Amino acid sequence: QVQLQESGPGLVKPSQTLSLTCTVSGGSISSGSYYWSWIRQPAGKGLEWIGRIYTSGSTNYNPSLKSRVTISVDTSKNQFSLKLSSVTAADTAVYYCAREGGIAVAGTTYNWFDPWGQGTLVTVSS
C-alpha cells in the first residue's frame, strides 16, 4: 500500500526558509485523482492544514499561511515538497504529509486524508 515519508532539516534559523520533502512509495504520485497535502502540529496543540497540490500542479493554501507557502511536485522522483519562508518560532511543529483522496458522488467530491506520513519535527531556533 502507499506509504509517505517526510524528510528535511530538523533545525531552521528564524527568518530563513523551511524546506521539506515527502517521498511516496508503493504507488505512483501521478496515478489516481489525489491531492497531496502538508499538515502541521505544534507540540501539545492541534492540527493545522498548510496546503495541497494536485498532480497537475494546481495548489490550494491555508489563507493564514498563503503568503509564505509554496508546495511543488516532482513526479519523476515521486515526491512533493513544502517551502515555508520567513519562519519564526511559531512555525516550530511536527510536519506531516498526507494523501487526500475520496469519492465523487453526483458531481460532488468527498475527500479525506489517508494515509499520513510519520511526521518530522522542525524546530525554528537560532
Partner 1 sequence: QSVLTQPPSASGTPGQRVTISCSGSSSNIGSNTVNWYQQLPGTAPKLLIYSNNQRPSGVPDRFSGSKSGTSASLAISGLQSEDEADYYCAAWDDSLNGHWVFGGGTKLTVL
Give 8 or 115: the residue with its C-beta nearer to partner 1.
Answer: 115
Q: Does 25 bind partner 1 (CB under 8 A)?
A: no
Q: According to the binding rule CB under 8 A, does residue 112 interact with partner 1?
A: yes
Residues ≥6 apart with Cβ < 8 Å to 102: 109, 110, 111, 112
Of the candidates 94, 75, 97, the one whose C-alpha atom is nearest the C-alpha of residue 29 is 75
Shortest CA distance to 34 belongs to which of 102, 108, 97, 107? 102
46-85 positions binding partner 1, by CB under 8 A: 46-49, 52, 60-63
For position 119 contacting partner 1 by CB under 8 A, the verdict is yes
Given the rule CB under 8 A, which of 12-20, 22-30, 71-79, 109-117 is the region that contacts partner 1?
Answer: 109-117
Residue showing cell 507540540? 43
- Smallest gap from Cβ 24 to partner 1, in A, equals 15
One-letter amino acid of 77? K
Q: Is the dihedral of CA 38, 25, 20, 69 positive or negative?
A: negative
> Which residues form the interface with partner 1 (CB under 8 A)?
37, 46-49, 52, 60-63, 96, 102-103, 110-119
